[in-house]
Structure 1
């Protein structure tokens, strides 16, 4: 049960951080030369998870201590050398918001189950 709660919490944390990055992109939509950023989660999650090492030839997993990695998005530049597509960023913001809210609901349900088990009902 704790593993499930931990995974839900980590994923919710990603979407919260992603929301902050997207909001920063939208805020800088009029900044000349601004390059929007995005968070990469799946690859970083796989890298941070412990891997089963069955063979001495397996590579040791490495971690730089960061859960999420910001990358710059390369897009067509606007007249002021700005690459922010506000419509696309708003769509990503809506997606992140929905995902975060649904994960928070799932977390709430998991804690309700835990409370039920503890109370013995």
Structure 2
């Protein structure tokens, strides 16, 4: 039985970690909005997660040498979030490509996503606690 180490919980944990990293990256972009030649960065996670869950992706599974062993997997490993720098676009004459309006909207969207992930993890843990204790 996979309680907190199942694939669903791992994906939620990966999304929460990506959201934390995205918060730091967006804050860095906002802090450097007036820095000449600064290039904005962004976090790529959702696309990597989608690719890892698509059919035909190699999946991890444990090797059972005895029929009494608990089966492990198969499920795709959760990818790590990656920071990508946008070197191609330009917003101003000083070659800076940070759009403050876009960054602020991404910040709000990320905050909503982060709150959702935290609520979902809290709900999952609460349901497990209720299942174990038999009461709410």
Q: TM-score, normalised by structure 1?
A: 0.79
The C-alpha deviation readout for 1:2-34, integer Å capped at 9, x for no partner, is 332221111111111111101100001011000
What is the deviation of 1:77?
3.3
Equivalent position of 2:21 in the other structure: 17
CA distance in 2, matches of 1:69, 1:106: 23
What is the deviation of 1:120?
2.2
Counterparts of 1:34-45 in structure 2 under 5 Å? 34-45=38-49
Equivalent position of 1:51 in the other structure: 58
Equivalent position of 2:111 in the other structure: 97
Q: TM-score, normalised by structure 2?
A: 0.71
Q: Of Structure 1 and Structure 2, which has the larger fraction of its residues in helix?
A: 1
CA distance in 1, matches of 2:36, 2:98: 10
Aligned residues: 110
Please provide the CA RMSD for this pair. Answer: 2.3
Contact 1:34–1:82, Cα closer than 8 Å, also in 2: yes
1 or 2 for the larger relative contact order (CA 8 Å, sep ≥6)?
A: 1
**Runs of 5+ unmatched residues, structure 1:** 54-65
Equivalent position of 1:111 in the other structure: 125
**Runs of 5+ unmatched residues, structure 2:** 61-78
Equivalent position of 1:76 in the other structure: 90
Contact 1:48–1:67, Cα closer than 8 Å, also in 2: no
What is the deviation of 1:52?
4.2
